[in-house]
Amino acid sequence: MEYAFELPCAMPDLSPLDHAIVGLDPAALVDVDAGGRTLRMATVLTRDELLSCMQEAGLQADAERLRQLPSMCCGGCSG
C-alpha cells in the first residue's frame, strides 16, 4: 500500500521512521516529495501500524494527515 502524509512543519530526520518501518517491513520505502512537504511511504503495514510507527519515531502523526493512495498496479507482476 502507498501512503502520503502531509508534514505539519519542516522535514524531520527520517532515520528513526525509516528504521521503525523497515524493522517491520524490510521492503518498505520512505521518501519526501520534491516540495519537501509530503512524506511518501510504500509498505505492507496497515494504516494503524504505520501511524504507530510514525508516532514511535517521534513524528506528530495524526490520522487526518495520513492518506492511503490508490493502487498504481500495472498488473505486470502477476504471472
Nearest to 45 by CA among 5, 77, 11: 5
In this structure, what are the phi and psi dihedrals at residue 28, rounded to the nearest 5 degrees?
-65, 150
As beta bridge partners, residue 62 has none
- Alpha helices in 2-60, H assignment, sequence order: 15-24, 47-56
pLDDT in tens, 17-45: 889 999 999 999 998 888 888 999 999 99
Q: How confident is the model at residue 75 (pLDDT cuts 50, 70, 90)?
A: low
- pLDDT value of position 25: 95
Amino acid at 17: L
Higher pLDDT, 65 or 78: 65
In this structure, what are the phi and psi dihedrals at residue 8, rounded to the nearest 5 degrees?
-75, -20
Domains and CATH numbers, the chain: 2-69 (3.30.70.100)
Average pLDDT over residues 49-71: 89
